[in-house]
């Protein structure tokens, strides 16, 4: 049993602190990705706020609640039967989280709060209490993790074992040195995790510069064999049709099975 | 605290069933790697026997015990203070295992029995009861896993958490299709695992053909950042000087730590 799912990862221009503008650009990207047929659309981490905050006060000023009326700008443009995953700074009262919203046409399925915080994030955000989450959506079971979460191999593994059909991964990867000809290291980790658990992964990264931080431009769609199915086109859209196999069947005929061959009693 | 360790992964010619010849060629490879300065020398999975057995009887006929006098041919050529990891079919009485011996000059530190069996191996070998093992050796704490073991991200992670300084990985990777320009998929998984846990990894693979199976030729040394430090030269030796960092310190200054940032209560 397998199904095709058209997906898109998109990296619109994000301007630090320009929430209204970022929402408008994210809405336009969702609308365009939908026109291209995508039914799962992933935008970067903190896409509504930008990333490089000077301090907690600035992060708080850019944060919005789950019930903020501005969300309608996004949910209005998501077609029936499609899902968008969008990173934002979540105002949860006393706490601010680095979250990803799982949105549908006119609605909201859930919000995942990043649980492995990178760099100075721990001085800006509270830490989530789930290592990725899986959401039942109109397009299937969508796993969601954010950036550094996925560098812990336990996270994508856990989501796959929990039955995720596909992983939506909003990220902001600061550019790091790498040998010529190599993929970004975080891409290699996502490729490996995808192959280990047959978990297609849709990565939306930033590109360009923000307050002196250069982003990796690592937006990519990775298929369930761990290979790159799409990179961004000139407009910044990585679009692919993924084959989603039954998440309960990780067999490799004739002898093997990625999950049944595990030895959890030994780990 | 960090130290340099010269390592070599070597892929001598292995002829199915020619135990005496394979031992002679492995001994020559160990001697040559030692001359090149290597203090950790890794040979492929089932290097003393070959891999593509027709049936269990053939595997049993090629198996040797841990106490077989032929081991002296190998331990004699290992210099004082060096370690060699060599794959072989282990005759353990009723059971036959796909094992890796951890050898020193004139001695034997241990034997690891593969615990994730690939393909028809389960009709040839019994399954080991440890998901990789870590051995205290003159050159440090050496983690050992065999081939398919390392495609389970739990295995290298577990060995790194147990304090391995370096992972010795004998493999026999049958060649699979991959997109042009990509590393073999098993290499990508090893690179990702190395980076996730800052665990340098020394991979000895087969090359060429055996009974119609084409090998990947994936012999490589991977550094603790997940990058390829050495591939085989024309003589089949991949030699590199690895920086071994303190396995108890996985910090990424100023804010992060690959291990302390884990959330094991959530996995």
Any idea where the domains of chain B sit in the sequence?
A: 2-266
Q: Looking at the complex, does the CB of residue A25 fall below 8 Å from at least one CB of chain B? A: no
Q: Is pLDDT at A249 greater than 70 in this prediction?
A: yes
* C-alpha distance from B115 to closest chain A C-alpha (Å): 8
> In the prediction, which pLDDT does A66 show?
98
Interface of A with B in 146-175 (CB under 8 A): 148, 151-155, 157-158
**Average pLDDT value for residue range A109-137:** 97
CATH homologous superfamily, domain B2-266: Carbon-nitrogen hydrolase (3.60.110.10)
By Cβ distance, the residue of A196, A227, A261 closest to B153 is A196
- Say what percent of chain A tops pLDDT 70: 100
Read off the pLDDT of each residue in A138-143 and give the average, rounded to a whole number: 97
* Mean of per-residue pLDDT scores for chain A: 97
Nearest to B158 among A148, A151, A267 (CB): A267
A196 touches chain B (CB under 8 A): yes
Q: Quick check: A185 contacting B, CB < 8 Å?
A: yes
Which pLDDT score, from 0 to 100, does residue A17 have?
A: 85
**A172: Cβ contacts below 8 Å, ≥ 6 apart:** A44, A45, A46, A51, A87, A147, A205, A206, A215
- Reported as a pLDDT band with limits 50, 70 and 90, residue B135 is very high
pLDDT digits (tens, 9 = 90+) for A145-185: 999 999 999 999 999 999 999 999 999 999 999 999 999 99
pLDDT of B143 > 80? The answer is yes
Query: Please, which pLDDT band fits residue B1 given cuts at 50, 70 and 90?
Result: low
Instruction: Check if B105 contacts A (Cβ < 8 Å).
Output: no
Q: Chain-centre distance of CA B90, in angstroms?
A: 16
Please give the mean pLDDT across all residues of chain B. 97
Residue A1 reports pLDDT greater than 70: no
CB-nearest to A119 from B256, B263, B266 is B256
CA distance to partner chain A, nearest, from residue B225 (Å): 9
Contact between A96 and A59 under an 8 Å Cβ cutoff? The reply is yes
Q: Mean per-residue pLDDT for B21-33?
A: 98
Peptide bond into A254 cis (omega under 30): yes
Helix extents (H) in B13-102: 19-35, 56-62, 71-75
- pLDDT tens for B188-241 read 999 999 999 999 999 999 999 999 999 999 999 999 999 999 999 999 999 999
Catalytic position from the list B26, B32, B45, B186: B45
| A191 touching B (Cβ < 8 Å) | yes
Question: Does B266 sit within 8 Å of A188, measured CB to CB?
Answer: no
- C-alpha span between A174 and A58 (Å, rounded): 20
Which of A195-229 are b and which e, b meaning 16 or more Cβ less than 10 Å from the residue's Cβ? bbbbbbbbbbbbbeebeeeebbbbbbbbbbbbbbb
Region A23-39 average pLDDT? 98
- Is residue B17 scored above 90 in pLDDT? no
Please say if B250 is a catalytic residue. no
Give every CB contact of residue B254 below 8 A, 6+ residues apart in sequence. Answer: none
End-to-end CA distance of chain B: 30
Question: d(Cα A187, Cα B173) in Å, to the nearest integer?
Answer: 23
Q: Which residues of B touch A117 (CB under 8 A)?
A: 261
Calpha distance B31→B38 (Å, rounded): 10
Q: Is B181 left (phi over 0), alpha (psi -120 to 50) or beta?
A: left
Q: Is residue B132 scored above 70 in pLDDT?
A: yes
**pLDDT for B58-68, tens place per residue?**
999 999 999 99
8 Å CB contact of B266 and A122: no
Catalytic residue annotation of A: 45, 114, 147
Chains A, B: CB contacts under 8 A, how many? 108
Cβ of B262 under 8 Å from any chain A Cβ?
A: yes
Contact B115 A181 (CB under 8 A): no
Q: What per-residue confidence (pLDDT) applies to B210?
A: 98
End-to-end CA distance of chain A: 30
Rounded to an integer, what distance in angstroms lies between the CA atom of residue A8 and that of residue A219? 10
Q: Which residue has the tokens 């930008």?
A: A50
């Amino acid at each position: 049993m397998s199904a095709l799912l058209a997906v898109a990862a998109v990296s619109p221009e994000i301007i630090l602190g320009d929430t209204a503008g970022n929402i408008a650009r994210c809405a336009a990207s969702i609308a365009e990705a939908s026109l291209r047929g995508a039914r799962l659309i992933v935008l970067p981490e903190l896409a509504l706020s930008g990333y490089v905050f000077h301090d907690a006060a600035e992060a708080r000023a850019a944060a919005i609640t789950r019930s903020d009326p501005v969300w309608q700008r996004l949910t209005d443009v998501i077609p029936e039967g499609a899902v968008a995953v969008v990173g934002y700074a979540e105002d949860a009262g006393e706490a601010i989280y680095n979250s990803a919203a799982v949105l549908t046409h006119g609605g909201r399925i859930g919000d995942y709060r990043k649980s492995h915080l990178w760099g100075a994030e721990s001085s800006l955000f509270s830490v989530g209490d789930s290592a990725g989450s899986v959401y039942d959506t109109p397009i299937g079971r969508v796993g969601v993790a954010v950036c550094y979460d996925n560098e812990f191999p336990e996270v994508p593994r856990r989501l796959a074992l929990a039955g995720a059909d596909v992983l939506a991964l909003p990220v902001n990867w600061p550019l790091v040195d790498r040998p010529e000809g190599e993929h970004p290291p975080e891409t290699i980790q996502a490729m490996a995790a995808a192959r280990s658990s047959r978990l297609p992964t849709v990565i939306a990264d930033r590109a360009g510069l923000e307050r002196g931080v250069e982003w990796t431009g690592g937006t990519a769609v990775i298929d369930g064999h761990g290979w790159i199915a799409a990179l961004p086109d000139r407009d910044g859209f990585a679009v692919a049709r993924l084959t989603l196999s039954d998440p309960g069947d990780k067999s490799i005929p004739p002898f093997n099975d990625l999950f049944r061959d595990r030895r959890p009693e030994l780990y």
